[in-house]
Amino acid sequence: MVVKISVKKKKVRMNKEQRSTARAVRIDPDIVLEVHDLIKTYTVGSSTITALNKVNLYIKKGEFIAIVGPSGSGKTTLINCLGALDFPDSGKIIYNVDSKGMGLDVTQMTNKQHKKMRLRKIGLIFQFYNLFPILTAYENVELPMVIDKKDAKIREARVKSLLKKIGLEKRMAHLPTQMSGGEQQRLTIARALVNEPLIILADEPTGELDTETTTNILKIFLDLKNAGESILMVTHNKRIAGIADRIITLTDGVVTDEVTGGKSLEEINRF
Ligand SMILES: Nc1ncnc2c1ncn2[C@@H]1O[C@H](COP(=O)(O)OP(=O)(O)O)[C@@H](O)[C@H]1O
Ligand SMILES: [Mg+2]
């Protein structure tokens, strides 16, 4: 008996307009990312939910921004759009890709171009780590460089130096399941940095961690910021958002507030 197995191709969610190739647009050389009038809706049955309603924001190079807001305010939707994981309905998301004042709009990219952006330009960090359970700590961090076909020697030097930086050089051969939540999140930070992205986008990176481990992760973010990295961190926790340079509040998909942060770890832990 011959058994025929048919594999259905996954439908690509992209309309004709979105299939066009992104054209270079001017962007202030000091800005790493600019968002214009971003709108994203979800349709469930007959009802439409507006998750992002004309969001405008920018992030300067080397800036640490926190986006705060209660559950359901659109934070993850924003990260998904900025992180080239999803397409908004309308609006622009311009990344300063060449550092010379020419940017690319990720909303105008193809899925293939999105993949390239995520591989080379955007370092994503999630609440639940998203590590490969069958790969070692070393291999998890190395993976984006392997996919990007980087030379083996360059890979080894980069991965080892990042593992050292996050204090996990002795855990190289361990699997994620043999590591604590904090250690796993440190690994995802190393993985996000491995291809030297333009920006780190983190969605509730300390959502699963206790206070002490949260402080360790925030310290890494502050060290990265001080070393010149640009970071956008989403959190529902206003207290920890205080360490960012600027804190932007999202309420029902609308930017409703922006304040200056810049608090130290001691200050945010005092309460
Ligand atoms: N895939 C989806 N389908 C339908 N509605 C969604 C989907 N993702 C999010 N939403 C809705 O969009 C709004 C914003 O959600 P989300 O971006 O996850 O908020 P947050 O991360 O701030 O909790 C919520 O009302 C949520 O229910
Ligand atoms: Mg969320």
- Ligand number nearest CA of 75 is 1
The structural domains of the chain, ordered by start, are 62-88+107-268 (3.40.50.300)
Verify whether ligand 1 is closer than 6 Å to residue 40 (CB atom).
no
Averaged confidence pLDDT in the chain: 92
Are the C-beta atoms of 69 and 266 separated by less than 8 Å?
Answer: no
Verify whether ligand 1 is closer than 6 Å to residue 128 (CB atom).
no
State what percent of residues in the chain have pLDDT above 70.
92
Q: How confident is the model at residue 200 (pLDDT cuts 50, 70, 90)?
A: very high
**CA 75 distance to own-chain centroid:** 12
Verify whether ligand 1 is closer than 6 Å to residue 73 (CB atom).
yes
Residue 16 in this model has a pLDDT that exceeds 60: no
pLDDT digits (tens, 9 = 90+) for 106-146: 999 999 999 999 999 999 999 999 999 999 999 999 999 99
